Amino acid sequence: MFLEVIVLAAGQGKRMRSDLPKVLHPLAGRPLLAHVLETARALTPKRIFVVHGHGAQAVQAAFAGQQDLEWVLQAEQLGTGHAVQQALPRLSKDAMALILYGDVPLIGARTLDELVSAAREGLSLLTAEPADATAYGRLVRDSSGRVARIVEHKDASESERAIREINAGFYALSVARLAAWLPRMKNQNAQKEYYLTDIVGFAVGEGVPVAAVKAADPWEVAGVNSKRELAELEREVQRREAARLMESGATLADPSRIDVRGTVQCGRDVSIDVNCVFEGRVALGDGVVIGPNCVLRDVSIGSGTQVLAFSHLQEAEVGAHCRIGPYARLRPGATLAEDVHVGNFVEVKASRLGAGSKANHLAYVGDSQVGRRVNIGAGTITCNYDGSAKHRTVIEDECFIGSDSTLVAPVRISRGSYIGAGSTITKDTPPGQLTVGRAKQVSIPSWKPKKKA
C-alpha cells in the first residue's frame, strides 16, 4: 500500500502570543513545519497534504515553490478530526494515511516507519511517557492490556489522569478505514471539538487491531505550544548539532554555546570558540579556527584560515590561510584568495581580493577587483556610490594604497602604483609610479598665535 501523509497545521497556537502562525516559528533557523515536512519526505510518500487555516496565506507563502505539497484549507478549526476530514475527499482510496502535526518538529523518520509498518493490520498510534502528561490525551487500556480508547485530559476522570502513557497524536491507518470512521465522530465533549482520537474507540469496537508504538526518544513527540517550549526544543536541536560537529572532529570551546541554523560542514581539526552563530550553508576547511562571537552565514572558508573574534561574514568565499578580523565584516560577494588579511573594522562587499593582499585596518572595499599582494592602508575607502549608481574600482597587482586614501570609482590603479597617504584619486593611475592627490603642505613663517583676551 502506498503512503500519503497529512500534516495538521491549522491551529492558531494561542499560547505563543504571536502574530506569526505557530508552524512558522523558526527552530534552528527553519519553520517548525519545515522540519516535519523534511521528515515526511524521507518516507517518500506519494503525496503530502498540509491542512492549514490560521494564517493560511502566510503559511502557504512560506512554502511557495515546494511543488510536492498539497494544501487543504480548514477555514474553521473545529478539532483534529475535523481537520483530517477536510483532507479526506482528496486522499487516494487505496492509500495508507499517516497523520502528523506541524508543531511537533523532532519526530524521526525511523519511528514513523515503524508506525506505518504497525498499521498493516489495522490502526497504529504513537505514544510516549513524558514526565508531565498534563495536556495530553491518555491511553486507556483494558484489563488485558489492549488499547481501549483515548481520553482527553479535559474529559478525563481523576484515575484516568493518573495514566502516564499519552497519545502523541500521530496515527497510521488505511484511507478506507479513515473514510468509514471520520463521519462517525461527534463533538459532544469538553471542548465541543471533533476529536480524531475517536477513531481509536471505533477501531476497538470493530475488533480492528490497535498498535501502540512507543517513540524511541521523548523529544520526538514534544510539541510547541509556547515560546518556552520552543526555546527548550531549540536547545535540544543545538545540543544535537554540537554533538554532530564534535563527532565529525570539530573542537568546540563549549558545546552549549554554539548555534547552528543551517548546515555546517567541517574538515579536520576545525576549532570553534564560544558564541558563534552559523546560518545557511557553511563549509569550514581543515584547520580553520573561528574565534568567539562570530556570525557566519552562507560562507565557505579555506583550510588554515583564522576568523578572529567578533567577525561577521555573509555570502562570502574565503580562501586558505587567510586572517579575518577581529571585528571584520565580509558582505555578500566578498571573495578572498589565499593568504589575504582583512583586519579590524574592514568591510568588504562584492569584491575580489587576490592572493597575499592585505587591508589590515579601518577600510571599505566595495565593488572592487583587487589584485595580488596589494596593500590597502588604514582608512582607505573605495567611493563606489555617486548617489545614484555604483561604480567599480580596479586595483592591479602589487599596488600600495597609502593610508586614508579615497579612490573615487570608476577608477583603475595600475600595477605597482604607489598612492601617497591622504590622496583622493579620481583618475586612473599609471603603473609603477607614485601618485599623490592631496593639497601641498605649507608652513607660514610669519604666522603668530592670536593673543588671548
- What is the DSSP secondary-structure string of 48-95? EEEEE-TTHHHHHHHTTT-TTEEEEE-SS---HHHHHHHHGGGS-TTP
Q: How far is the CB of 147 from ligand UD1 (least distance, A)?
A: 13
Q: Which residue, 29 or 223, is less far from Ca ion as judged by CB?
A: 223
Q: Which is nearer to Ca ion, 104 or 260 (CB)?
A: 104
Paired strand residues for 359: 342, 376
Q: Which residues contact 370 (CB under 8 A, 6 or more apart)?
A: 351, 352, 353, 354, 357, 376, 395
Which helix or strand (DSSP H or E) is residue 241 part of? Answer: helix 227-247
Locus of grid cell 527552530: 27
CA atoms within 13 A on the CB side of 293: 7
Grid-cell match 560577494, residue found: 333
Count of residues interacting with ligand UD1 (CB under 6 A): 27
CA–centroid distance for 156 within its chain:
39
Q: At what angle do helices 109-118 and 32-42 cross, to 10 degrees?
A: 60
Catalytic residue among 54, 153, 361, 391: 361
Of the residues 223, 304, 319, 377, which one makes contact with ligand UD1 according to CB under 6 A: 223
Q: Residue 8 touches which of ligand UD1, Ca ion, none (CB < 5 to 8 A by kind)?
A: ligand UD1
Q: Which does 9 bind (CB under 5 to 8 A by kind): Ca ion, ligand UD1, none?
A: ligand UD1
- Cβ proximity to ligand UD1: between 69 and 168 the closer is 168
Mention every residue, 6+ apart, whose C-beta is less than 8 A from residue 290: 270, 271, 272, 273, 276, 284, 296, 307
Closest separation in Å from C-beta 152 to Ca ion:
11
Task: Give the H or E element holding residue 115.
Answer: helix 109-118
Closest approach of ligand UD1 to the CB of residue 96, in Å: 20
Judged by CB under 5 A, the residue of 223, 302, 356, 379 near Ca ion is 223
Helix (H, G, I), strand (E, B) or coil at 388: coil
Nearer to ligand UD1, 78 or 359 (CB): 78
Q: Rounded to 5, what percent of the chain is helix, strand, coil?
A: 20, 35, 45
Binding segment toward Ca ion, per CB under 5 A, in 151-159, 223-231, 354-362, 400-408 = 223-231
361 is catalytic: yes
CA 102 to CA 170: how far, in whole Å? 11
The 124-153 site mask, x for binding ligand UD1 (CB under 6 A), equals: ------------xx------------x-x-
- The binder of 196, among ligand UD1, Ca ion, none, by C-beta within 5 to 8 A per type, is ligand UD1
Q: Which is nearer to ligand UD1, 150 or 208 (CB)?
A: 150
C-alpha cell at 135: 495536556
Nearer to ligand UD1, 156 or 330 (CB): 156
Is 267 an interacting residue with respect to Ca ion (CB under 5 A)? no
> Which candidate, 207, 209, 247, 201, places its Cα nearest to that of 81?
201
Task: Considering only the stretches 35-43, 81-89, 176-184, 220-228, report the one whose residues sit in contact with Ca ion under the rule CB under 5 A.
Answer: 220-228
Q: Residues 3, 99, 168, 272: which binds ligand UD1 (CB under 6 A)?
A: 168
- Rounded to 10 degrees, the C-alpha dihedral 131/136/142/147 comes to -100
| Bridge pairing between strands 424-425 and 406-408 | parallel
CB of 156 to ligand UD1, least distance (A): 10
79 binds Ca ion (CB under 5 A): no
- Contact pattern from residue 55 through residue 94 relative to ligand UD1, giving x for each residue in contact according to CB under 6 A and a dash for the rest: -------------------x--xxxx-xx-----------
Q: Which stretch binds ligand UD1 (CB under 6 A): 161-169, 296-304, 352-360, 382-390?
A: 161-169
Q: Which of 275, 283, 284 is nearest to 252 (CA)?
A: 275
Residue 51 binds ligand UD1, judged by CB under 6 A: yes
What are residue 368's DSSP bridge partners? Answer: 393
* Binding to ligand UD1 in span 182-211, by CB under 6 A: 195-197
- For ligand UD1, which stretch binds (CB under 6 A), given 7-15, 241-249, 297-305, 348-356? 7-15
List interacting residues with Ca ion (CB under 5 A): 223
Q: Kindly list the catalytic residues.
A: 361
List interacting residues with ligand UD1 (CB under 6 A): 8-11, 51, 74, 77-80, 82-83, 101-103, 136-137, 150, 152, 166-169, 195-197, 223
